[in-house]
Amino acid sequence: MHLDLTDRVVVVTGAARGIGRTIAARFLAEGCRVVALDLAFDTADPTAGDGSAIVEQVVCDVADPASVRAAVDTVVERHGTIDVLVNNAGINVEGTVADLRWDAWRRCMDVNLGGTFLMSQAVAPVMQAAGRGRIINAASFAAIVPSVGSAAYAASKSAVVAFTRVLASELGPWDITVNAYAPGMVPTAMNGFATMPTEAQDRLLDTLSLRRWETPDDVADLLVFVASDAAGYITGTLLDVSGGKLATQIPARAHGR
Ligand code: NAD
């Protein structure tokens, strides 16, 4: 299948590091004009290392309406349109309901859910004017099967899924698709999976049908497809890219464990 994304204008939030950084680099490699948004950037080379092409960087707090407005205006001034918005920026807030502080709960909702709302609200009119577009929202397997201690995070990601479904219908008349995706377990600074003791890593891996850590490229592969014309009839759904995290209860049995 040939997925031609040449010259599409792609905005990726939370793209200074982690999965978002790889997503941005991947769209760049597909020939897109890519703008990375994040709270801060600590590198002049946001291309995942090769240094041959540059992802544009715009400082933006997706939880701040004025910051979002300014960032979207900047992108439109520079590029005239926005074809693809990836709402990747997110934070993980852990704590049992008994222990969670209100400000931590609020920040989790403000970034994960509020940021997705603010960015989508600012970008949708640009896409409506063009009569096409793709909005792709980071949810999580936690939206479906949460862990103990993840009330704030899981609730925010469940809400992203519901938001996605509503927005998909509201933007359907303009041929704009809106989808969410559920990564499984990608070792990043957010979770520290890769630096956990071996036994803790094994316990987590044992919950995956494929029994390997997910890579940021596993996510980027899906997003390139969703952004392409080939995915034009997929909207309002949660795309599971979790390596089977949501498939069965004890997949480790199939691995002899
Ligand atoms: P990460 O912490 O490595 O990167 C998140 C990025 O978002 C950072 O660069 C951070 O600065 C940025 N960010 C945070 N708050 C922001 C704000 N207010 N405005 C702009 N940028 C902001 O995380 P990651 O593991 O790469 O996760 C990326 C997305 O994928 C998140 O939405 C996360 O919930 C989701 N996800 C990750 C996993 C995983 O296993 N890593 C699993 C499921 C879902």
Q: Say what percent of the chain tops pLDDT 70.
A: 96
Tokens of 239: 């795309």
Question: Does pLDDT of 196 surpass 80?
Answer: yes
CB 190 near ligand 1, within 6 Å: yes
Pocket test for ligand 1, best of 69, 88, 238 (most atoms within 8 A of CB): 88
pLDDT digits (tens, 9 = 90+) for 166-180: 999 999 999 999 999
pLDDT digits (tens, 9 = 90+) for 107-166: 999 999 999 999 999 999 999 999 999 999 999 999 999 999 999 999 999 999 999 999
| pLDDT band at residue 37 using 50, 70 and 90 as cut-offs | very high
CB 57 near ligand 1, within 6 Å: no
CA of 114 to the centre of ligand 1 (A): 14
CB 243 near ligand 1, within 6 Å: no
